[in-house]
Structure 1
């Protein structure tokens, strides 16, 4: 056998790819998308309202146990204006008042009326019955006004309140006149 020339084998070099930079970029992208995802969530206040129900044969009247002395109605109007009255508008306990969102405005009014209603209920033997507030935002009021009045309900510790968007003709006239 003849000596055959040996093939020269090329040496394979181990190629190493440095992934340090890629890992750093990946972590930066993950952090970026987590922050963007968290910041893009809308901040919403949960508000559960009952379904609208209408039956032409059946009409329901809020009677509050026959005691309209506990009812306070708050009408939200444009330009941060509030109109409030106690009792029913057909026979209000006092003339409607125009208030604002200051601590000497609606907050003072709610605190005073709620304490008077609690005293009145305690005299009747029902010490835990406080004010019943009906909040009626007009189409001209903004969402901030509704959130502000809900904050005032929490500050005044009024537990029983409802948000209603139906205005009686008398209430519409009251809003238009003021």
Structure 2
């Protein structure tokens, strides 16, 4: 609260002077109110919850009967390269097929448009195989998983890069 303190009259004779008054503000109630409001808003605010992506793993990777054969017409292979470049081709990468390797990036007009293309979306059996190279960064793998989520791609797998894929990148 604010209080006004008056100085006592010095008792000197003569002319009457106006009394000098000084003010003193007690800041304690305002600080208490500030901490109450801060506590209230901290406790009533809902914090953002972390979003997780469900990853399904095979039961036993060593059993050959768990491997599902994929036709070349139902495969899209994405190779994650250095400097945030994304290479892709349709098929399994057999040298006999001579796949045409295209280069793109992670922008809206990049790999997202490939995943949203009619060739991919019209084929319900399409499987996207993601193959990171040794020069790619972890961020690129997270970005491609985000693109799979954004484009609502149901079938995709993280696969080791093969020598054929390395050869395709070298020939590009």
TM-score, with normalisation over the residues of structure 2? 0.59
Which structure 2 residues correspond to residues 59-78 of structure 1 after superposition, within 5 A? Answer: 59=64, 62-64=68-70, 67-78=71-82
RMSD between superposed Cα atoms in Å: 3.7
> Which residue of the partner structure matches residue 99 of structure 1?
104
Q: Which residue of 1 aligns with 2:28?
A: none
Is the contact made by 2:77 and 2:128 (CA closer than 8 Å) also made in structure 1?
A: yes
TM-score normalised per structure 1: 0.57
Among residues 99, 118, 142, which one is paired with 1:112 in the alignment?
A: 118
CA separation in 2, counterparts of 1:168 and 1:103? 28
User: C-alpha deviations, 1:110-144, integer Å up to 9, x for none?
Assistant: 133323x43xxxxxxxxxx2421011111211121
Task: Please list every run of 5 or more consecutive structure 2 residues that lacks an aligned counterpart in the other structure.
Answer: 1-46
* Alpha-carbon separation, structure 2, partners of 1:155 and 1:44: 14
The structure 1 residue matched to 2:83, chosen from 79, 82, 89, is 79
Higher helix share: 1
Runs of 5+ consecutive residues of structure 1 not aligned to the other structure: 1-37, 119-128
In structure 2, relative to structure 1, the CA distance for the partners of 1:143 and 1:49 (3 Å cut) is farther
CA deviation after TM superposition for structure 1 residue 154, in Å: 1.9
- Contact kept in structure 2, 1:74 and 1:85, CA below 8 Å: yes
Is the CA contact 1:87–1:93 (under 8 Å) kept in the aligned structure 2?
no
Match of 2:150 among 135, 143, 155: 155
1:21 aligned residue: none
